[in-house]
Structure 1
Amino acid sequence: MSKTQENLMAAFAGESQANRKYLAYAKQADKEGLTMVAKLFRAAAEAETIHAHTHLRNAGKISDTAANLQDAISGETYEFTKMYPEMIKDAEAEGNNAVAKYMGFVNAVEEVHAKLYQKAAANELSNKDFYICPVCGYTHEGPMTEACPVCKAPAANFYTVG
């Protein structure tokens, strides 16, 4: 990999993290009633997304949808089979049980994501919106009628992503 390619991927990672961090900061500013600061954080987050997408495109990492689905399946599978199980063990070994529990939730959700991507690759998705658990990120095809199967959050709390 060339130095430029390495730099593009490092910049992509940094810009992606800044986006998510600034969105979290915006939520906190909103809670504190600092509307304009929250708007600034959201605006900067959007700009960071533009940067991240451009870096990823310049690195040649965006392909056709079939290849992108295979990449997503691979990434999610790595997360739920290797990355999170190891992180859970580390958190437990350090006595961070709350972190280990939450990472267990995330691990379960990453497996769901891999399965949904596999359905998409097989052209088997339904024509329904996706519903997201606001606690653990569980992703469901179609409306939720029961509590989250991962963290038990009420179905009424799920929100739509379409």
Structure 2
Amino acid sequence: MNENKTLENLMEAFAGESQANRKYLAYSKKAEKDGYINAAKLFRAASDAETLHALKHFEVAGKVATTADNLKDAVAGETHEYKEMYPDHVRIAEEEGNKAALTSFMYAMKAEEVHARLYQEALENMDQAEEVFYYLCPVCGNIEKSRPDKCSICGVMGDKFTQY
């Protein structure tokens, strides 16, 4: 048995199921907006099913470690995105004059920097007993530890943020 090929297959399946999850969620939101509630519900159910598949593949692949290791991995991933990946994407979008992509990349790049900082804080404060609440901007993905008056990245009003 080729364990390396199995691991490769698990990670390929994880990536595919993860992308399907997000795609079907986007389709669900569009169907709901267009008034097709049954299609919206089916897309949302399928999105959740794809999440189940992705999570199981990731777990079986041995990719879920200790919370401290998972936080370190999250810091590294978010840092890569805001320092390396998105700056290149921003540059290309600017060169090509694609303003919608530029805005999307800029929002994500700025939010990923915040995410990296929050993961690092969580890692450093793992033994903290006091519950922390997080607030997610529904437009740019910024996360704050208190509900802001408005988003520091995209300017959306703070009452639109979702509490976690």
TM interval, short-chain normalised? over 0.9
RMSD: 1.5
Map of 2:131 onto structure 1: 127
Map of 1:73 onto structure 2: 75
Q: Are 1:128 and 1:142, in contact at CA under 8 Å, matched by a contact in 2?
A: no
Which runs of structure 2 are paired with 1:73-92 in the superposition (5 Å)? 73-92=75-94
Q: Distance in 2 between matches of 1:7 and 1:131?
A: 36
> Shift of residue 98 of structure 1?
2.6
Q: Distance in 2 between matches of 1:48 and 1:90?
A: 32
Q: Distance in 2 between matches of 1:151 and 1:33?
A: 28
Map of 2:144 onto structure 1: 140
Q: Distance in 2 between matches of 1:117 and 1:136?
A: 18
1:39 paired with 2:41, answer yes
> Shift of residue 53 of structure 1?
0.5
Higher alpha-carbon deviation: 110-119 or 95-104: 95-104
Structure 2 stretches lacking a partner, 5+ long: none
Tell me the alpha carbon deviations over residues 83-113 of structure 1, each in whole angstroms, 9 at most, x when there is no partner: 0001111111111123112211110100000
> Shift of residue 16 of structure 1?
0.3
1:99 paired with 2:97, answer no
Please, what TM-score do these two structures have when normalized by structure 2? 0.92
Q: Distance in 2 between matches of 1:97 and 1:137?
A: 18
Higher alpha-carbon deviation: 60-69 or 128-137: 128-137
Please, what TM-score do these two structures have when normalized by structure 1? 0.93
1:152 paired with 2:155, answer yes
Tell me the alpha carbon deviations over residues 7-31 of structure 1, each in whole angstroms, 9 at most, x when there is no partner: 1111101100100111111111111
Give aligned-pair identity as a percent.
Answer: 49
The one-letter code matched in structure 2 to 1:2 is N
Structure 1 stretches lacking a partner, 5+ long: none
Q: Distance in 2 between matches of 1:107 and 1:135?
A: 13
Large movers: runs of 4+ above 2 Å: 124-128
